[in-house]
Amino acid sequence: MIVGLTRKIRYKIRLFLLRRAMRKHKRRRRVVGYDGARAFALLADGLPDGPPQFLNRLIDQLQTDGKTVDAVVFFHDKVIPDKVKPSPSVIHCQKNDFAWTMRPGPVPLQDLVAREVDILIDLSSSEALQMKYLAALSTALYKVGAHHPEFLDIYDLILNVNEQCTADELAKHAIHYLKMIKTPAEND
């Protein structure tokens, strides 16, 4: 009972910190479609045996289409599993890589937040508040994420999917709708 109450209090404090950071952070917004985007950032949850398999396929698909891709895989444990192999386009992080205020600690995470990307796709679960914090502070021109009442202000394109929707299905939906968007320059 006390553990559940402690988790709820910690969650509410982190939501407060996230909203406060979003109020302070201003970014340049622009509608960007799939064809007009050159750089993507992906945020996803890690599995106990490593990054999800669909993430590598998604990165390969985007790179085949001529996009540059940076991805962050967040492991909810305090350590990254030993089975995880380093990858040049994927940053692996864990709870210990963030301060209690959810600010990213390691330089690669700070660089990702400051890097100019056209589209950020957040495939992480709603429990990964650290990933929501990264999404909120990112300077991405266009942000895509799943519908959740607490995080509506973070994203420009909100995908309304059911709770059983996997991150792989969410990624397919995101790419599908991004391909439908035509920016004014593409219509000419």
The tens digit of pLDDT for each residue in 108-146 reads: 777 777 788 999 999 988 888 888 888 888 888 999 998
Question: Which residue do the tokens 């004014």 mark?
Answer: 184
The encoded tokens of residue 144 equal: 């895509």
pLDDT number for residue 144: 92
CATH number at 89 reads 3.40.50
**Total domain count, the chain:** 1
* pTM reported for the whole predicted model: 0.85
**137 - beta bridge partners?**
none
Contacts of 24 (CB under 8 A, 6+ apart): none
Rounded to whole angstroms, the Cα distance separating 143 from 177 reads 12
Residue pLDDT, tens place only, 31-45: 888 888 999 999 998
Low-confidence ranges of the chain (pLDDT < 50): 187-188
Alpha-carbon distance of 84 to 17, in angstroms, equals 30
Q: Which of 6, 74, 66, 34 is nearest to 157 (CA)?
A: 34
Q: If you ran DSSP here, which 8-state letter would residue 69 be given?
A: E
Per the CB < 8 A criterion, the answer to whether 71 and 89 are in contact is yes
Rounded distance between C-alpha atoms, residue 137 and residue 160, angstroms: 22
pLDDT at residue 188, rounded to an integer = 46
* Alpha helix ranges (H) inside the chain: 2-24, 53-64, 107-114, 129-137, 167-180, 184-187
**The domain containing residue 173 runs over which residues?**
2-187
Q: What angle do CA 55, 36, 68 make, to 5 degrees?
A: 40
Element (H, E) at 93: strand 90-94
The closest alpha carbon to 73, from 108, 46, 55, belongs to 46
